[in-house]
Structure 1
Amino acid sequence: MEFDVVIVGGGPAGLSAAIRVRQLAEERGEDVSVCVLEKGSEIGAHILSGAVIDPKALDELIPDWRDSDCPLRQKVTSNHHWFLSQTGKTEIPHALLPPLMSNKGCYTGSLGNLTRWLAERAEALGVEVYPGFAVAEVLYNDDGSVKGVATGDMGVARDGSKKDGYEPGVELHGKYTLFAEGVRGSSSKQLIERFDLRAGRQPQTYGIGLKELWDAPDGQHDPGRVIHSQGWPLKGVAGGGFIYHQDNGQIAIGFVVALDYENPYLSPYDEFQRFKDHPAIRPMLEGGRRVAYGARAINEGGWQSVPKLSFPGGALIGCSAGFVNVPRIKGTHNAMKTAMLAGEAAVDAVLAGRANDALDSYQIAYEKSWVHKELKRVRNVRPALDKFGIVGGTLYAGTDMWLQSLGLGWLLGWTFGNPKDHEKTGKAKDYQPIDYPKYDGVVTFDKLSSVYLSNTYHEEDQPCHLTLKDDSVPIRINWEQYAAPEQRYCPAGVYEIVEAETGGGGLRLQINAQNCVHCKTCDIKDPTQNINWVVPEGGGGPNYPNM
């Protein structure tokens, strides 16, 4: 199938690029063909975010969205920042928070539903949207430029044989291919390495975000109320919680743990469960009903970790490149804006008769954009926590952001570096296991009941998409030296150490790939980088209804 522009990923970035391409083509009286490929069973199925959304990019893309049927309706009405101890909380007065952290004019709601709405707008403009198609391979021309992509075969058994109903993948060729796969996209990871896009840049760093959606108990819902927290239950680890009172009587509650943590016994999932049990938080949930659960990795590297964006035949857009503003806990507006810039560059190139060269004008446009300016101002906030510790780093970050807000950012002209998350993992012998409380089934829950709420499904008889470079490493190194941290950093119970049934006994790693919620944490945090996440059959994974 031939298109002018092929877009991999049907999230906010991919759809914003597609919409912008068609808008510009129509304005110029031209026809530029665009298709969007989405590995989820439907648009929005794999979308998970807090979410408090800055509408800045949406205002540029679809100026009349407020007067339409757009599902983003609930404005932020109050903003709170809590510092938690084990038994209490201290609220930091809003006036003391740097203006850069303000949520004024922002909205809270389901990013998945916003994405579904964007898909409707894209299709109305003539974009071809194909959900359920996972991109398994990047295709290249003889000169090394990107030619397009190929979707994975359907109906392949675990042993590699073809089942009844086998369907081969489809090649989609484009003059330009834009990759909007989200955090740690499998194709994007290959492209960054192939074209050395991180040359001169810092490594990307990540957090894992876990989220639940609750129908609020009577009297505990305050529409538009936004709460962020730091402190307990984490000790010496960057991260914190969020509680967003959204419309329809629902509360989105979640927890983020930076993946540069050292203690291999730490479990982000269990830290989230402890967070919900805090005496300031539990009453918001008790008597309510948990209706959804999910987890997703988050880019945290910031400005200095954004790779080179363009390469021959294509570009990285949105979270495939990493444009999250960590102190604001927002990235959707930046993802959408960079996608729009890439779409504009692609249209110009196609209408000029070009194909398969580097979209250098996109890189230039990004460096002149408000996204670049916004990220550069807060570039040292997240790495300061690693450099000076949580307390010292928080004080530095607050000072830095206040100086930036006062126009004195030039006094802090340096840029801190970022570590590689997996290299920070310590050896088990140097740490003590963490004694997490038992789940009560009222506010705190086990992993498998949570995965059930994510509506995750994979066809079981298919090749495992969680691949190992060396089958001996999980026991020989990860278990022996790190106490098998994959059992704990995975938020879905995918990895288990069990007794081997053959080969003389001993232990083996069991991979329950059918539980995978596609968070990508294993691909990031595995201390030996032995786990390589590749796409399963299209349509597999979580099916988030309202996240």
Structure 2
Amino acid sequence: MAEIERESMEYDVVIVGAGPAGLSSAIRLKQINPELSVVVLEKGSEVGAHILSGAVLDPIGLNKLIPDWKEKGAPVTVPVEDDNFYMLGEAGKLKIPTWPMPPLMHNHGNYIVSMGNVCRWLAEQAEALEVEIFPGMSCSELVYGENGEVKGVIAGEFGKNPDGTAGDGYEPGMELHGKYVLLGEGVRGSLSKQVIAKYELDAHCDVQKYGLGMKELWEIDPAKHKPGSVTHTMGWPLGSHAGGGSFIYHLDNNQVYVGFVVHLGYENPYMNPYLAFQQFKHHPMVKDLLEGGKRVAYGARAISEGGWQSLPKLEFPGGALLGCAAGMVNVPRIKGNHNAMLSGIAAAEAVVEALAEDRAGDLGGAYDKAVRQGEIGKDLKPVRNVKPLWSKYGLMASLVGGGVDMWTNTFGFSALGTLKHGKTDAEATGEAKDHKPIDYPKPDGKLSFDRLTNVSFSFTNHEEHQPAHLTLKDASVPVDINLPTYAGPSQRYCPAGVYEFVKDDDGSDRFVINFQNCVHCKTCDIKDPRQNIVWTVPQGGDGPNYPNM
């Protein structure tokens, strides 16, 4: 195939991803040096369309970036009024007191927000500083310089046929070059994966761990609404099948976020995170809250959970990893947006310093040091053992041992040192012969819903006449290996019904990928036991269109 000729545009800084990390970086760059040329590329149809988060926001990053955010009308208006923790049984609950918990676990001073709306507002602030923001622009490839450094990205390629050839209306996209390229793609970003592998950024860190977060937005009976109320639960219905828990956040306008997180290191291939989420809503405590209300929106997203010991090297020749592209979520706090913003700020400050010293493409370790020794490191390091304790020894060990370890870390030491995570989530998947199927109740269509119906509430759309953005390294693996050995786990771990096994007329099994359903959660890229599924970007603007999420 002949080499495609593309036009190019030159910038000082190219940022991939209009999430909290990318937008914070863009704003900080222009705050320090208004003369810098900065562009932000976003694959969603608009800024915020692909943002899915809990979210209770610790405003530390926002305070640092835009101290007068209240006066400027930031959509951060619902302060946390009360914290509730429960251990659930099938029909009952046990309230866990908050007073023994370390101060870092308390939500006083935090806000219940839609991070999608926060990002929309941040984009307005960035544009006021003359940052160029291009939504609907998927970054499909990296561009490398003469010395092997990242010098830009290819964005805006449209019109390919399903087989990858150029269609009648083919647009080759453009090369956007930057003295620095900052990747803020979020969890398991396709370009970030390539950069981590190429430059071996993870050579000296622990494996990354992940969770799958699913979330619904509900409008409930005003009599049951308590703005500022925050509830977290553990236990039922996951039990011994998987780690994880739920969140219920009351925002304004009689709306409630109901979410469920399943750690993807589970062994039983019959585990179905989506159906566990639907089952959870039938617990009496949740059922009483939601009855009489209506579900407004649904979405799902992977969460980086490796924490401190899983942070890769953050800098690479030509750029850096921001926020969840590297993995900066504080698992016990269930928060990462504040660290994403802080990382964007730190990267911007390192870039400005490097450009002033005419060090294009080389941050000299300044950004990496700022993350590890600054506020992000102080947030992640004290909680580093909670996740491995949970994965290896179960929920109670994590609650007790992790709680003690967090307390001792507030005084600067840990008897546990730094525990290792061990296996990747893909490697943790057990064989079907060693596990029993799990019986989930059928969704009732009132409180609980089948996957395809719920996916319609993510407002997902993919133009069908394009190459599938979900590809297989080996097309034989799903039927020849995953189905007989692991009972075809992709048909259960995907929260959008993308994957299914169907019987052909001759009785043989066939693997089907319904990429149009994909909500870009990246679970398949993470959990496939043979790491055979590769998630790449579809054409720009495709995917979910999350409202107020």
Instruction: Indicate the TM-score class for this superposition, using the shorter chain for normalisation.
Output: over 0.9
Q: Does structure 1 residue 138 correspond to structure 2 residue 142?
A: yes
1:22 paired residue number: 30
- Asked if residue 3 in structure 1 is aligned to residue 11 in structure 2, the reply is yes
- SS at structure 2 position matched to 1:235: coil
Shift of 1:408: 5.5
The alignment partner of 1:281 has SS state of helix
1:32 pairs, out of 36, 58, 69, with: 36
Superposed, which structure 2 residues align to 1:44-63 within 5 Å? 44-63=48-67
1:312, 1:359 within 8 Å by CA — same for their partners in 2?
no
In structure 2, the partner of 1:481 is: 485
The partner residue of 1:319 within 324, 333, 350 is 324
Q: CA deviation at 1:316?
A: 0.3
Corresponding residue number in structure 2 for 1:409: 413
SS in 2 for 1:402: helix
Which of 383, 399, 405 does residue 400 from structure 1 map onto? 405
Following the alignment from structure 1 to structure 2, what is the Cα–Cα distance between the partners of residues 401 and 231? 21
Residue among 536, 544, 547 paired with 1:545: 547
Match of 1:283 in 2: 288
Q: Secondary structure at the match of 2:222?
A: coil
Mapping 1:482-521, distance limit 5 Å? 482-500=486-504, 505-521=507-523
Aligned to 2:257: 252
Which is worse superposed, 342-351 or 156-165? 156-165
Partner residue in 2 for 1:12: 20
Secondary structure of the 2:444 match is coil
Aligned counterparts of 1:45 and 1:494: Cα–Cα separation in 2: 20
Determine the structure 2 residue equivalent to 1:159. 163
Structure 1 residue 159 displacement after superposition: 2.4
Structure 1's 58 and 10: CA in aligned 2 closer, same or farther, altered over 3 A?
Answer: same
- Alpha-carbon distance in structure 1 between the residues aligned to 2:504 and 2:182: 44
2:534 is the counterpart of 1:526:
no
> Identity, % of aligned pairs?
57
Matches of 1:413 and 1:482 in 2, distance apart?
35
Using the TM superposition, give the Cα deviation of residue 505 of structure 1 relative to its aligned residue in structure 2, in angstroms: 4.9
Which letter does structure 2 place at the counterpart of 1:18? A
**Aligned pairs for 1:35-434 within 5 A:** 35-236=39-240, 237-405=242-410, 407=411, 409-434=413-438
Residue 381 (structure 1) shift: 0.7
C-alpha distance in 1 between matches for 2:128 and 2:222:
40
Counterpart pick for 1:454 among 453, 458, 462: 458
Rate the CA distance shift 1:140–1:195 in 2: closer, same or farther, 3 A.
same
Give the TM-score normalised by structure 2.
0.97
Shift of the alpha carbon at 1:120? 0.3
Q: Secondary structure at the match of 2:169?
A: strand
- Equivalent position amino acid for 1:272 in 2: F
Distance 2:169 2:184 in 1: 30
Tell me, yes or no, if the aligned pair for 1:109 and 1:247 is still in contact at 8 Å.
no
Give 1:152 shift.
Answer: 4.9
Could you tell which deviates more after superposition, 361-370 or 451-460? 361-370
The separation in 1 between residues aligned to 2:426 and 2:205, in whole angstroms, is 18
Check the 8 A contact 2:405/2:415 in 1, yes or no.
Answer: no
Tell me if structure 1 keeps the 8 A contact 2:462–2:516: yes
CA drift at 1:216: 1.2
Unaligned runs of 5+ in 2: 1-8
Contact 1:306–1:323 (Cα < 8 Å) also in 2 = yes
Give 1:437's aligned residue: 441
Q: Deviations over 1:393-419 (max 9, x none)?
A: 3221111122234x1634443433342
| d(CA) in 1 for partners of 2:164, 2:379 | 48
Q: Is the Cα contact below 8 Å between 1:132 and 1:538 reproduced in 2?
A: yes
Cα distance in 2 for partners of 1:425, 1:281 equals 30
Cα contact 2:426–2:529 (8 A) shared by 1: yes
CA contact (8 A) 1:137 1:152 kept: no
- 1:387 and 1:393 in contact (8 A); partners too: no
Q: Distance in 1 between matches of 2:326 and 2:341?
A: 12
CA contact (8 A) 1:217 1:289 kept: no
| Separation (CA, whole Å) in 2 of partners of 1:357 and 1:73 | 40
Give the whole-Å Cα distance in 2 for the aligned partners of 1:542 and 1:451. Answer: 9
TM-score (norm 1): 0.97
CA distance in 1, matches of 2:422, 2:180: 31
Provide the secondary structure at the position in 1 that maps to 2:137: coil
Larger mean CA deviation between 67-76 and 486-495 belongs to 67-76
Classify 1:308/1:408 alpha carbon distance in 2 versus 1 (closer, same or farther; 3 Å): closer
Q: How many residues align?
A: 540
Map of 2:6 onto structure 1: none
Whole-Å Cα distance in 2 between the matches of residues 37 and 392 of structure 1?
43
Query: Structure 1 414/536 Cα, relative in aligned 2: closer, same or farther at 3 Å?
Result: closer
Distance 1:229 1:167 in 2: 49
The amino acid of 2:406's aligned partner reads M
Matched-pair contact (CA < 8 Å) for 2:222–2:254: no
Q: CA deviation at 1:358?
A: 4.1
- 1:98 CA displacement: 2.5
The SS at the match of 1:13 is helix
Range with bigger deviation, 306-315 or 395-404: 395-404
For 2:420 and 2:168, the matched residues in 1 are separated by 55
**More displaced 10-residue stretch of structure 1: 440-449 or 153-162:** 153-162
Separation in structure 1 between the aligned mates of residue 368 and residue 438 of structure 2, nearest angstrom:
45
Instruction: Tell me, yes or no, if the aligned pair for 1:301 and 1:418 is still in contact at 8 Å.
Output: no
The amino acid that maps onto 1:314 is G
Amino acid aligned to 2:394: G
Alpha-carbon shift at residue 14 of structure 1 (Å): 0.3
Query: 2:4 aligns to what?
Result: none
Q: Report if aligned partners of 2:350, 2:363 keep a CA contact under 8 Å in 1.
A: no
Partners in 2 of 1:192 and 1:464 — Cα distance?
Answer: 24
Task: Report the Cα distance in structure 2 between the residues aligned to 1:146 and 1:58, rounded to whole angstroms.
Answer: 29
1:540/1:105 Cα in 2 relative to 1: closer, same or farther (>3 Å)? same
Shift of 1:151: 1.6
Q: Distance in 2 between matches of 1:353 and 1:86?
A: 62
Displacement of 1:248 = 1.4
How far residue 51 of structure 1 moved from its aligned partner, in angstroms, is: 0.3
- DSSP 3-state at the match of 1:498: strand
Distance 1:32 1:155 in 2: 33
Distance 1:139 1:283, change over 3 A: same
Task: Give the Cα separation in 1 of the matches to 2:131 and 2:356.
Answer: 17
What CA distance in whole angstroms lies between the structure 1 residues aligned with 2:163 and 2:415? 60
